[in-house]
Amino acid sequence: MNPNALPWLWPVLFYLAGSFPPGYLAGKARGIDIRQHGSGNIGATNVYRVMGRPWGITVFIIDFLKGFLPLFLLKRYCYPSDDSWEVSLLLVLCAFAVILGHNYTPWLGFKGGKGIATSAGVLGALLPWVLAVSLSLWIIAVLLTRTVAIGSLLAAAVLPLACAWFYPGQWIYFGLCTVAGGLAVWRHRSNIYRLLAHQEPPLNSPSPKKEAP
């Protein structure tokens, strides 16, 4: 990697890319503020429950792509054969930036989604085997429980274990999986409270009431 400081400005651009809020814009396209409906979250699950399956799937895909495409293009075309720790660190910082942009978008008062789809996109670009394991677990858990939050929490929890198994010794990427998984769990704390109280709704039921800030 070039010794100048210019590459280290990439995380700023990745944060801005992650801050694009498709869930909010989808609601506006239907004449509603999605933050005032269902759980108040702008993520794909709340959009799915409030606006229907096509809208929810569309938002999920866009949130996934805004995590996947920038990292994939940066790695493929800027650092195609550079496996140095500096490049790995830069890629991980960009990954964190795009997730944080999604979770705390400046365009909506630094309130955003929970980062599952965008984190999945990041993993698809950098650690595809980790994504394969976590996505498989997510699908199985949601099919068995019909509860997205359970699938998301299990998928987040398995990230460090999958990284350690498929990418041994890659401590920078292990840190990414640990922090990204922990952040996803933190963003789901309201869901955890509802799960413990047996009040978390299944996938096809109406969203719970608007979450507290």
| Counted domains in the chain | 1
The residue behind tokens 């995380």 is 11
Residue 58 lies in domain: 7-196
pLDDT, block means (10 residues), the chain with 213 residues: 70 96 96 93 93 95 97 92 89 96 96 94 97 96 94 96 96 96 95 92 69 52
Please say whether the beta carbons of 208 and 194 come within 8 A. Answer: yes
Residue 176 placed within a domain: yes
Q: What is the pLDDT of residue 39?
A: 86
Residue 58 placed within a domain: yes
pTM strictly above 0.95 = no
Residue 21 placed within a domain: yes
CA 5 to chain CA centroid, Å, is 28
Residue 211 placed within a domain: no
Q: What is the pLDDT of residue 210?
A: 59
Residue 201 placed within a domain: no
Number of other residues whose CB lies within 10 A of the CB of residue 38: 21
Q: What is the pLDDT of residue 30?
A: 94
Exposure of 82 in the CB half-sphere (CA atoms within 13 A) = 16
Residue 25 placed within a domain: yes
53/58 Cα distance (integer angstroms): 8
Residue 95 placed within a domain: yes
Residue 1 placed within a domain: no
